[in-house]
Structure 1
Amino acid sequence: MILYLEGIDFAILWGILTFLFGYVPYLGFFLAAFPPTLLGLFKYGITGAFAVFASIWLINALVENILFPSLAGKSLKLSPSTVFLSLIYWTYVLGPSGALIAVPLTMVVKMLMERSEDMSWMVKFMEPGQEKS
């Protein structure tokens, strides 16, 4: 919606791609923000490019830091290092499509390991550390 208000061409396409790239940890934001920012640069100059990037960054920051953790953070129970390593592994195994589905695939593997008594000890390495109070 914000890209449409800013007059960026193909705003709906960039919104859909931003949603899809949102599943790619760490890199997805930059991959999604690059094309509309480039269009903003061509259409409005450096100030327009900065406005487009800032608006995408603001919405992403609100969703990633406020909305997502409150809805799903505690239910996923994956440490950041596990997410990063799963991104590398699934991208190597499945290519670019593996990067898009790395976290869901890792959650499936984790659930399968939780059911096995022999593998349940590995689940502790995948979960975030316990906070001390």
Structure 2
Amino acid sequence: MADELEQYLARLTEQVHRELRDAIRQEAVKLSEAQKQTLQSLQQAPAESGDLEASCAVVPGANDLEWIVRAGGDKTTGEVREGSGVDFDHGLAFEFGTSRQQARPFFYNTFEARRDDMQAAIDAAVQRAVNE
């Protein structure tokens, strides 16, 4: 009886892990795509390069249950002002604004808008694993 229980728990652990891994990755991709869509609706000036949108990505984290949704970085980092020699991620200026530019948030507000849906998808993944 104890062997059967151990086998069942091992299978359940594997099933939950597999379902969670897939659900978390899918939700991370959906979040990144939603952030790109938000950026598309905010970028109204024709001079904007699209680098911020292109920088939106999902990358693996420390383990297969961790996915990092990011934006900015190398693609959007440059001098604060030409000749200043001081680098600044212009994606931060877009998200939070500056003294010369109003904030046009796309990252955190999109996460907050999707938070409940992401949690529901993760909860459903666990439920599927338990019901298998």
Query: Which protein is bigger by CA-based radius of gyration?
Result: 2
* Alignment TM-score, normalising by the size of structure 2: 0.28
Give the strand-richer structure, 1 or 2.
Answer: 2
Give the helix-richer structure, 1 or 2.
Answer: 1
* Alignment TM-score, normalising by the size of structure 1: 0.27
Greater relative contact order (Cα 8 A, min sep 6): structure 1 or 2?
2
